[in-house]
Amino acid sequence: MKFFAHGSAGAESLAVEAGGTTYDLSPLTGDAHAVTRDFLENGGIARAARAIADGSLPALDTPVDAPTPQNRVEEARCGAPLAPGKILCIGLNYRDHAAETNAEIPPEPIVFMKAPDTVVGPYDDVLIPRDSVKTDWEVELGVVIGSTLRCASSPEEALAAIAGYTISNDVSEREFQIERGGTWDKGKNCETFNPMGPYLVTADEIADVQDLSLTLSVNGQVRQDGTTADQIFGVGEVLAYLSRFMTLYPGDLVNTGTPAGVAMGLPGQPYLRDGDVVELAIEGLGSQRQTFRDAPAPTAPAPASGAASATTEKETGR
């Protein structure tokens, strides 16, 4: 099954695609705008499968509601399919990406976090931060946790806790990340820096998570063309490792790293500029498309009523 959200921002509805038919999921999820921890924790995937089997989920009228490459993006917006709890990310997890950045193969997974409020839909605009000159792209396999995982004893145990998979664009500002001191968080948590979706694809749909192609192009030029087979730490190993240090809960998202081809590692470092179009895809999980836009200047806050009154009195001499 493939879960997705469609509709305007903040007013999305949930749907599920199975067997070539798209179903309205709201009888099970109410007014939820994305898949949530509560849905996953309470057997939502199994309940959706049963509801489809017994005919209790209404089919949507037009297949175009599903976020396929043929979808009319401007007319049928897709939101992120998941409202994540934690977003955990693995750095330098592909051999070729480590090589292009002149980094040594890490002996253990490199872990950083992104805030859930970085998440936007798969076709939404991404904002280039003010004064940024090094905004970069990263196509990544996103892993969605489906059951609580603590101190997993093996990668196999960790894999059994997966609800499904999605696509993340781990957008990064390299100056903020690398040249400003401290941790990577400053370059990873800018507004709109985690487009997600279009689908949350259930784990049973993916035969081998370590054999998926990942691609990304900028303005039609292919920049990344990799495979999850090149991961240094496989998905099960990553989850088991993380579960030693923190509890993974249903709805947590793990971005598992990016292959070679990021702007930072390319000749001339062609970082993103206003108007650039980024398209990315992962085998079996769909595709994304974002236009990058310069972030607007902040709007000055209106003065407080008390301050306004004081100014008026001073100006008028009262």
Tell me the β-bridge partners of 145: 162
Contact 188, 112 (CB under 8 A): yes
How high is the pLDDT of residue 68? 57
**In whole angstroms, what is the distance from residue 192 CA to residue 171 CA?**
8
Q: What CATH number belongs to 87-294?
A: 3.90.850.10
pLDDT reading at 58 higher than 70: yes
In sequence order, the 6+-apart residues with CB closer than 8 A to the CB of 315 are none
Its pTM stands at: 0.91
Q: How confident is the model at residue 203 (pLDDT cuts 50, 70, 90)?
A: very high
Would you kindly state where each structural domain of the chain is located, as residue ranges? 2-79, 87-294
Nearest to 252 by CA among 143, 173, 94, 139: 143
pLDDT reading at 300 higher than 80: no
Q: How confident is the model at residue 92 (pLDDT cuts 50, 70, 90)?
A: very high
pLDDT tens by residue, 121-178: 999 999 999 999 999 999 999 999 999 999 999 999 999 999 999 999 999 999 999 9
pLDDT reading at 317 higher than 60: no
